[in-house]
Structure 1
Amino acid sequence: MNVQLFIPCFIDQLYPQTAFNMVKVLEKAGCTVTYNAEQTCCGQPAFNAGFQREAKEVCTKFLHDFSGSEYIVAPSASCVGFVRNYYPKLFDNSSHHNEVKELQKRTFELADFLVNVLKVEDLGATLHTKATYHDSCAALRECKIKAEPRALLARVKGLELTEMNDVETCCGFGGTFAVKFEPISMGMADQKVTNARQTGAECIISTDHSCLMHLDGYIRHKGLPIQTMHIADVLASGW
């Protein structure tokens, strides 16, 4: 199966190894992965900040960069959720209307794609640690992803996964929310990390580096004995 790789801005700039690990995982699952080096942003930051016209220009470029019929897979439910749920509104009753409908059907977050499209759950990964999983708001509410990451993690040898309290509660990032409402955002991060540590976990795993970036910043600031890890990095461990 041919797959187009979409790498979000912050992963490209801050966590490139996660992108490389995602390629390893997809290739091990039998995919031929292509990467369009001309790709940029999905348009979500501008849209969320209220700049819809500017966002639409970026989104139009995304449509051009990812034209074709192949599946588009990204290590971010946040970006995937934006493409699936907001592109139809931006391009409603436009010349791109039908193109966007097709784009919705072929754009997937990594865990969702592995489990529901490729029907693969065991990637042969090994990671000896105790961990807990964080449901990102975008994965849970916009992409309806809940069981898929857990099914993949359950098959990682050596990984002990324990659910935290209030697992579906937001971590407090929310993009510019963390900047505009920093005290609230930090309070939410504190609650999330506290719940994670109460499980005895050494690691917080998620589909979204945006959440993990926020939590890791809080963890480092407080000097806490817990780390964060993207699910792509977990699935690429030990082989």
Structure 2
Amino acid sequence: MRVGLFIPCYVDAFHPEVGIATLELLERLGCEVEYPTDQTCCGQPMTNTGCHEESAATETLFVRNFAKYDYIVGPSGSCVHQVRFAFDAIEQTDEVKAVRAKTFELVEFLHDILKVEAFPWAEFPHKVALHNNCQTLRGLGIASTSEQRRAYFSKPIDLLSKVRGIEFVELTRPDECCGFGGTFSVFEEGVSAKMGHDKVRDQHQAGAEYVTSSDSSCMLHQQGCAERLGLPQRYIHIAQILNGARQ
């Protein structure tokens, strides 16, 4: 299958290693991957702040870049959520609807589409806490939520359990927002920082050596909070672990 690799702008700017790991992992699993080099922002920052009309140009470009692929895969649940559920600043043609429907976050693509059963190259002998981005968790349904009475499931845990040596630690409030929230962290800096401090303290008290997520944006925020508090845990994207990183 032909996969268009969608790398969010903040990953490209701050965590290019996550984009590289995503590319390598998909190729290991037999996908024919292409990276459209003129891709830009998906428009999420504008949409989140109510500037829907300003998102139209980025949405149009996204469709032009990715319409030809069987699937579009990105290592960011919040950006994928934007495409699937908030991509409405442009006319909803059949082409636009098709692009939205075939855009997947990396974990759900590996779990639901490729149905990966093993990562024989991967070993990560560390105590790990999982963080699920709010939009990924509640918008994309990547895992069950603690506030709902439904059977437990976790696509990230299911994939990570196939990695040798990994040990999971439980957080006191696993589904609580870390406070990043995209532009929320800019407009409500104090609240965002306090929520982040609560989150990273919970991770530290649980004994996590590493915290992993499918969203680099949350990792970036939490890493900054942990460093300011002098906490030792480290942060790593799930694509890097599944691709064989050992740190």
Bin of the TM-score, shorter chain as denominator length: over 0.9
Which residue number corresponds to residue 17 of structure 1? 17
Is 1:172–1:188's contact at 8 Å kept on the other side of the alignment? yes
Secondary structure of 2:165's aligned partner: strand
CA deviations over 1:73-129 (Å, ceiling 9, x no partner): 000001000000011x333xx3x4322221222100111000100010422210111
Is 1:28–1:123's contact at 8 Å kept on the other side of the alignment? no
In structure 2, how many angstroms separate the alpha carbons of the residues matched to 1:121 and 1:216? 31
Could you tell me how far 1:163 is from its partner in structure 2? 2.3
Secondary structure of 1:127's aligned partner: coil
Say which of 105, 109, 113 aligns to 1:113: 109
Is 2:4–2:69's contact at 8 Å kept on the other side of the alignment? no
Which residue number corresponds to residue 28 of structure 1? 28
Which residue number corresponds to residue 215 of structure 1? 222
In structure 1, how many angstroms separate the alpha carbons of the residues matched to 2:164 and 2:210? 15
Which residue number corresponds to residue 187 of structure 2? 180
CA deviations over 1:162-184 (Å, ceiling 9, x no partner): 22121111100011111211111
Q: Tell me, yes or no, if structure 1 residue 122 matches structure 2 residue 118.
A: yes
Alignment-mate amino acid for residue 19 of structure 1 = G
In structure 2, how many angstroms separate the alpha carbons of the residues matched to 1:72 and 1:163? 32
Which residue number corresponds to residue 58 of structure 1? 58
CA deviations over 1:15-57 (Å, ceiling 9, x no partner): 1111111111111111111111011110111111222111111
In structure 2, how many angstroms separate the alpha carbons of the residues matched to 1:157 and 1:181? 40
Gaps of 5+ in 2: 144-153
Q: Tell me, yes or no, if structure 1 residue 137 matches structure 2 residue 144.
A: no
In structure 1, how many angstroms separate the alpha carbons of the residues matched to 2:226 and 2:169? 19
Q: Which segments of structure 1 move beyond 4 Å, counting only runs of 4 or more?
A: none
Equivalent residue runs for 1:73-92 within 5 Å: 73-87=73-87, 89-91=88-90
Secondary structure of 2:178's aligned partner: coil
Range that drifts further, 156-165 or 107-116 = 156-165
What is the CA RMSD across the aligned residues, in angstroms?
1.3
- How many correspondences in the alignment? 235
Q: Tell me, yes or no, if structure 1 residue 167 matches structure 2 residue 174.
A: yes
Secondary structure of 2:19's aligned partner: helix
Secondary structure of 2:167's aligned partner: strand
Q: Tell me, yes or no, if structure 1 residue 197 matches structure 2 residue 196.
A: no
More helix by share: 1
Which residue number corresponds to residue 102 of structure 1? 98
Identity %, equivalent residues? 41
Query: What is the TM-score normalised by the length of structure 2?
Result: 0.91
C-alpha change, 1:109 and 1:78, in structure 2 (3 Å) is: same
Is 1:43–1:58's contact at 8 Å kept on the other side of the alignment? yes
In structure 2, how many angstroms separate the alpha carbons of the residues matched to 1:158 and 1:48? 39
